[in-house]
Structure 1
C-alpha cells in the first residue's frame, strides 16, 4: 500500500528531526571532510567559504545522501566524501547566485559578496567546485563522477535559464517547473542516487532514489517560492520580497498574473519589468497573490511533488530511514523557512 502525505500518522507539524537523528553520526564525518577540504594556503578562501558553510543551512543534500545509504543498507564509508562533494557543489552555486542576484542576505546574515566583494566570492565558488571534483575523483567511480558532473552542468543550465526568464512576464508554469528541475531538483536527485551507486544496488533502486530526490527538490523549491511571499525576513533568513525585487517569475507570480484581471496584469508587467518594486508595490503584489490564492496553490503543487517523492520509495521495506525520508518530504512542504 502506498504511503500518503495526507493519511500517514504523524506529528501535527512535520519535522526534520528524524532525518537529523538518523544521519547525525554520519554528518560528523561529512562535516570533518568539509572543514578539511575548504582549507587553503590562501587565508581568504577558508574565511569566505566558512562564512557561508558555518552560517547554518539545513544541509539537506548531504543528509539525503546519508539517508539514502541507510535506506539501501550501505555499510561503507565512501558516501561521506561524496556527501561533502554534494555540499560543496551546492555552496558554490549559492555563492555564485548571490553575486548574480546582488543579494544582501543569506541564512540570516550578510551575504559573502557584500562582505568580501563579487570577484572573491565568484572565485571561492570556483574553488569549492574544484574541491568537489577532487572528492569525486578520489572516490574512483566513473558512474558517480558522471552523475554528479552531469548534475553540476544541469544546475548551471537551470540558473542560466532562470536568468533568461527573469523579467519575462509571460513565463509559463511548465517552463518554470523545467527551470527548477534544473537549478534545484537535479542536485537533490543526484545526491540521493549516488547512495545506491556506492552500495552497488540494482538500477531500479538507483532510479527510485533519483525520483525521490528530484520530486523532493521540486517540492522544496516550490515551498521556497511560497515562503518568499508568505514569511518575514527573520524567519526566512533573507529579505522578504527578494524574488519580487529581482523580477523573478516564480510560481506565485505566474499564478497571480494568469488569474488576474487586466488592471492587475498591467501592474505585474510593470513590477516584473522593474518599474514598480518599492515597498508599497511589494505590499500590493502580496495582496494580489493572496487574493488569487497563489501561495496556497503553490504549496498545493509542492504537496503534490512531495507525495510523488514518498511514492518513489514505496517499494523499500519499512525502516527508520524510510520513515525519516517520508517526514522530510512532508517537512519540505510545511516549513516556513
Structure 2
C-alpha cells in the first residue's frame, strides 16, 4: 500500500496542515523564507503529523487544534533534519541537495533554530499546559538523542540496548509525542494517553530500524539518499551490531574496523557481510515485532477508517522501500 492510499481519509486535514505550514513559515527575513521553504517543499512522508491527525480523528476529535499541532510536529522534525545534516555533513536528502549544501551550514543551523522557536510560538497558542509539556519534553529528549548518537560515532562497542536508546530518543520520541497529542485532543485519560504514546514509540522504532536496513539494501533513487551513509559516518546501527555479534570472526573484524575508521572504502565488503550474516533479516524481524506491538496497543480503539489507517501504517513502516 502506498502512503497516498493511507492518507486518503486525511486529505482535507492534510491540506489544512499544509496551509498552516505555509502561513507560519512566513518571516520578513528573506533567507529564512528561502531555506525554510526549500526544506519543507522537499516533501517527505509527513508520517508524524499524519499520526497525530489519525489518532485525533480515531478518537472523534472535532476542532482545528490538530492542524496547528500537526504543523508544529512537522516544524520540529524539519528543524532536526536541518541540524542533522549539518552534524553529519550530508549533501543529499530526499533526492535533493541538503539545505546546508545549498545555503551553507550557518544558514541551515539558524533556520533550524527559527523553526524550533516558531514551533513554541504556535504551541503556546493552543493554551493547554499538557501540550506544552509534551512538546517541551520531546524536543529536549530529541536533543539528548542527537548527543548520544554523536558520542556513539566510531564506537564499535555500542550494545543493542544502547543503540535502541538512541533510536528512542532521536527518532521515536517525536512519533510518541505526535500520538500522545492526538490522544490529549481526543479526550483520553492519562492511561489512554500513555497507551497511544507507546503506540507511537513502537511504530517510530520500527520506522528507524527499516531505515537502518535501507541504508544497506535500498534503492538510492527511491530513498533519496546515498547507500552506506551511516557507515561512512561511523554510525554503529543494528545491522552492523548484528554482524559483530553473530557474524564470523572475519566479518566482525571487518565491520569493527569500518565503524572505527568511517568512510566508504570497505562498503562493498561490509554489504556482503551484512547480507550473508542475516543482519538485514534479523533487523526486519525486530522491526516487525515493534510494529506488531504497536498494532496491539490500538486494538481496542473503536472501528473507523482512521483506526484502519493506523493499522495499515504499522504494516507500511516495515514493508516500505523508501
Q: TM-score, normalised by structure 2?
A: 0.98
CA distance in 2, matches of 1:266, 1:68: 45
- Alpha-carbon spacing, 1:276–1:239, altered in 2? closer, same or farther (3 Å): closer
CA distance in 2, matches of 1:215, 1:18: 22
Query: Helix, strand or coil: the match of 1:229?
Result: helix
1:313 corresponds to which of 282, 298, 301: 298
CA distance in 2, matches of 1:266, 1:228: 20
Q: TM-score, normalised by structure 1?
A: 0.93
1:288 corresponds to which of 273, 290, 298: 273
1 or 2, which has the higher helix percentage? 2
CA distance in 1, matches of 2:126, 2:186: 13
1:145 corresponds to which of 114, 119, 132: 132
Structure 1: runs of 5+ lacking an equivalent: 1-13
Q: In structure 2, what is the equivalent of residue 4 of structure 1?
A: none
Query: Helix, strand or coil: the match of 1:273?
Result: helix
Shift of 1:100: 0.2
198-207 vs 50-59, which moves further: 198-207
Equivalent residue pairs, number = 322
Q: How does 1:204-243 map to 2 (within 5 A)?
A: 204-243=191-230
Q: In structure 2, what is the equivalent of residue 63 of structure 1?
A: 50
- Alpha-carbon spacing, 1:205–1:99, altered in 2? closer, same or farther (3 Å): same
116-125 vs 196-205, which moves further: 196-205
Q: In structure 2, what is the equivalent of residue 270 of structure 1?
A: 257
1:18/1:327 contact within 8 Å kept? no
198-207 vs 148-157, which moves further: 198-207
State the 4+ residue runs in structure 1 displaced beyond 4 angstroms: none
Shift of 1:328: 0.5
2:231/2:263 contact within 8 Å kept? no
CA distance in 1, matches of 2:108, 2:263: 30
Shift of 1:264: 2.1
Q: In structure 2, what is the equivalent of residue 189 of structure 1?
A: 176
120-129 vs 199-208, which moves further: 199-208
Q: Which has the higher contact order (CA 8 A, sep 6+)?
A: 1
39-48 vs 193-202, which moves further: 193-202
C-alpha RMSD of matched pairs (Å): 1.1
1:19/1:63 contact within 8 Å kept? no
Shift of 1:245: 0.4
CA distance in 2, matches of 1:220, 1:157: 20
Shift of 1:51: 1.1
Shift of 1:182: 0.4
CA distance in 1, matches of 2:262, 2:307: 48
CA distance in 2, matches of 1:311, 1:17: 24
C-alpha deviations, 1:140-182, integer Å up to 9, x for none?
A: 1000000011011111111110110111101111111111000
- Alpha-carbon spacing, 1:289–1:264, altered in 2? closer, same or farther (3 Å): same
Structure 2: runs of 5+ lacking an equivalent: none
CA distance in 2, matches of 1:65, 1:264: 42
1:220/1:302 contact within 8 Å kept? yes
Q: In structure 2, what is the equivalent of residue 301 of structure 1?
A: 286
1:306/1:330 contact within 8 Å kept? yes
Query: Helix, strand or coil: the match of 1:73?
Result: coil
CA distance in 1, matches of 2:144, 2:216: 26
63-72 vs 253-262, which moves further: 253-262
Query: Helix, strand or coil: the match of 2:216?
Result: coil
C-alpha deviations, 1:126-152, integer Å up to 9, x for none?
A: 000001101110001000000011011
Query: Helix, strand or coil: the match of 2:236?
Result: coil
Shift of 1:257: 1.2
